[in-house]
Amino acid sequence: MKESNSDRRKFLKNTTALSGMLLFGGLEDKVKASTIIKPVPMKVYPNRIKFAVININHSHINSMTEAIKRGGGELVALYAKEPELIAEYLKKFPEAKLVKSEKEILEDPSIQLVLSSGIPDERAPLGIRVMQHGKDYLTDKPGAISLAQLAEVKKVQKETKRIYSIMYSERLENKATVKASELVKSGAIGNVIQTVNLAPHRINNGTRPDWFYDKKRFGGILTDIGSHQFDQFLHFTASTEAEILLSQTGNVHHPQRPNFEDFGDVMLKGNGGSGYIRVDWFTPDALDTWGDGRLTILGTEGYIEVRKNTDVASGKKGGNHLYMVNQKEMLHIDCNNVNLPFGGLFVDDVLNRTETAMTQKHCFLATEMAVTAQKLAKPLVLKK
């Protein structure tokens, strides 16, 4: 145990040093090139499929809806229980017909796809009902909060041959991360060795529902927030197998919420690379966004850092910043005009029964890794 703890301290020390180097101090004086990607209009063919929404307990449903609409989906129906959430959603998407029951959507043969951002522990059971009614399903993360839920989802998905997909939006809906995918695929930094994901979030106490603070409902911090990071690790390292080396979670600052977790981190490795993940609920109030999310991708010929939502170091406003250093150049890329392909690809998959947006295996493996890391996590207790 002592040797293991020593190894962990060495690892975290090295990781911290790497993160420090990637702050790019004085960056604007050193970067050789700064590129703004010119927008390329994305062709959208409307009304290719009809889709509906069931349960809207997280605001991620808005970006999910927009993605499918961009892909050519026609929003036709909504079912939810909370009047205030319904009013807010319909203000953004007035074309959705409010129905009185989930059954009305599930038994409508014209609806091909159902979206949901319900309470996390209810997402997998709903997805099972959706698939059993012959429809495809796109849910907010986490798509399952236990290995038992995931096993049942996989069983029904195999039986029905329907799509059960999870919107890992920190990759699929972040323009700089989409650009990073393109660069890695092109070989711009060689073979990927490691990813480092830092994902702080703002807690917004006083605005959250009770289920947000109950681990039995949200699954734990690594299952919930961490599912984004496991998705990115598998994607960028091209890993099809992975294992958890060390994980820990804790509630270090919210004693009034005994069933909550505000910090978690993980060391893991796959057959395509290694990774480190840190997630937390400690975004300070002065930050100009909900979280200073960062992704570092280390390759054999260079590295990329994505500043997803803001860039404190350089003072550049807004998000979608990408920095790359390789054997030929070091540059900053403003990715705000990058197209987001997920919606169109996903609608293609619904129509063609393909897996171009995300493979089913990848979708399930990212969730399995997150839930497993949560299950294996050692408690973090800070004594001060």
Q: Are residues 175 and 302 in the same domain?
A: yes
Q: State whether 222 and 75 are in the same domain.
A: no
- Are 192 and 137 members of one domain? no
Q: Using CA atoms, how far apart are residues 293 and 321, in angstroms rounded to an integer?
A: 11
Number of domains in the chain: 2
* pLDDT tens-digit map of 180-212: 999 999 999 999 999 999 999 999 999 999 999
What pLDDT, on a 0 to 100 scale, did the predictor assign at position 31? 53
At residue 314, the pLDDT reads: 82
Q: Say whether both 53 and 29 belong to one domain.
A: no
Of 137, 167, 197, which residue constitutes the final position of a domain? Answer: 167
CATH number at residue 330: 3.30.360.10
- Give residue 384's pLDDT: 73
Residue ending a domain, choose from 107, 142, 167:
167
For residue 125, being part of any structural domain is answered with yes
Q: Are 262 and 251 in contact (CB under 8 A)?
A: yes
What is the per-residue pLDDT across 75-103, written as a single tens digit (0 to 9) for each?
999 999 999 999 999 999 999 999 999 99
Are 24 and 104 contained in the same domain?
no
Which residues of the chain fall below pLDDT 70?
A: 1-33
Q: Are residues 175 and 163 in the same domain?
A: no
Are residues 114 and 14 located together in one domain of the fold?
Answer: no
In a domain, 43, yes or no: no
The answer to whether 61 and 92 have CB atoms below 8 angstroms apart is: no
CA-only gyration radius of the chain, Å: 21
Q: Residue 76 is part of a domain; what is its CATH number?
A: 3.40.50.720
Last residue of a domain, one of 145, 167, 189: 167
* 106 and 11 in a common domain: no
Domain assignment of residue 236, yes or no:
yes
The β-bridge partners of 322 are 306, 333
E strand or H helix at 52: strand 49-54
Is 351 among the domain residues?
no
320 falls within a domain: yes
For the chain, the helix, strand and coil percentages under 3-state DSSP, each to the nearest 5:
40, 25, 40
Backbone φ and ψ for 208, nearest 5 degrees, come out as: -95, 145
State the pLDDT at residue 3. 45
Same-domain status, 229 and 197 = yes
pLDDT given for residue 313 in this prediction: 85
Same-domain check for residues 66 and 186 = no
Looking at the structure, do residues 71 and 162 belong to the same domain, yes or no?
yes
Say whether both 182 and 150 belong to one domain.
Answer: no
Residue 304: domain span: 2-38+171-341+372-379
